[in-house]
Amino acid sequence: MTLRIGLIGAGRMGAALAHHLAYSVENAAFVSIADPNEENRLQMARRFGVDQTYCDHEQLLEESDVDAVVVVTPTSTHVDVVCAAAAAGKHIFVEKPLALTVAGCDQAIAAAEAAGVKLQVGFMRRFDPAYVAAKEKIDAGVIGRPVMFKSTGRDPWRTSLKYARREASGGLILDMAIHDFDAGRWLMGSDVLRAYSEGGCLVFPELGEVGDIDNAVVNLKFAGGAVGNVDVSRNAIYGYDIRTEVIGSEGSVMIGGLQQTAMLTLTKNSVAHDTIPGFMARFAAAYAAELRAFVDAVLEERDVPVTGRDARAATAIGIAATQSFDEQRPVYLSEVAP
């Protein structure tokens, strides 16, 4: 069996997933692309041998030979595209966040359920070999009862000012830390009760002009009693820095590091190694694995591993954490996601 997939969105992230659709995902046929940017769309089509291209995603959704879509459009458009895809009867894989609001998540989830189509959201860390191995250790009780979650997510560059606007991406906390929030719920096996954030525009003053910040720390209280801490930054000039630790009553698991290549340079006064250049290098295997999981779920008629409700929960944490930063107080999840 083969799942025929159309890609909606031919930007940087779309190109990364297109590569895996074309070369890494068994039982998938990459058959069409939709993007209003003609140059991006046609360049991608030539690169991956895709014959059908469209300016408008609605045109792609009309094609009967498309079974499912991978949605990599701007975050603010996710809900509209997901709802349109569901109405067209297409199974849906959509990049995170599912929406910028809890109501938007609910709308997308309801649309997929009403249409009877699969909806999976792109939280790739759940498919990264190191994160998967850590989850297995935690679930097996190797570290005892999880009591503390610590996660770091730092980019080596400042995002564009257009993207940094909250109406476009949700801002630093929602856009970047949402991966940490989802990983926290998943690894700790618990929902989050409240969030408290501190942060600021400390390196790139121009981000403040569009309503964003460049560094933040978010403290979390889990419903089961455990505590958590997430730090996110846009100025890790040394490289892409993704690390996570879960501390248990009988041990700890640590995920990630700064080194890309297993090679050290040792001189008289220093020991040096390279760093990870970006998310595509760090999570290449995970991006391929999450797409394979989506295809398998559709073809085998089973539940997707990361649901719309998982995405809703992570979005709610991001909204509460952002509100906490704005209002300088702890915000309970019940305030934003009843």
Say if residues 185 and 228 touch (Cβ distance below 8 Å): no
Say if residues 72 and 95 touch (Cβ distance below 8 Å): yes
- pLDDT per residue over 208-257, tens digit each? 999 999 999 999 999 999 999 999 999 999 999 999 999 999 999 999 99
Q: Which residues contact 258 (CB under 8 A, 6 or more apart)?
A: 238, 239, 241, 273, 275, 276
User: What's the pLDDT score for residue 227?
Assistant: 98
Domain coordinates of the chain in residue numbers?
A: 3-123, 126-284+314-336
Phi, psi of 109 (to 5 degrees): -60, -45
User: What's the pLDDT score for residue 1?
Assistant: 87
User: What's the pLDDT score for residue 231?
Assistant: 98
d(C-alpha 197, C-alpha 328), whole Å:
7
User: What's the pLDDT score for residue 242?
Assistant: 97
d(C-alpha 111, C-alpha 129), whole Å:
32
Tell me which CATH code domain 3-123 carries. 3.40.50.720
d(C-alpha 332, C-alpha 50), whole Å:
47
Q: Identify the CATH assignment for 126-284+314-336 out of 1.10.40.30, 3.30.360.10, 3.30.450.20, 3.90.1150.10.
A: 3.30.360.10
Q: What residue has token string 């940490």?
A: 180
User: What stretches in the chain show pLDDT beneath 70?
Assistant: none
SS3 state at 196:
strand
User: What's the pLDDT score for residue 209?
Assistant: 97
- Paired with 265 in beta bridges are 272
User: What's the pLDDT score for residue 171?
Assistant: 97
- pLDDT per residue over 107-127, tens digit each? 999 999 999 999 999 999 999
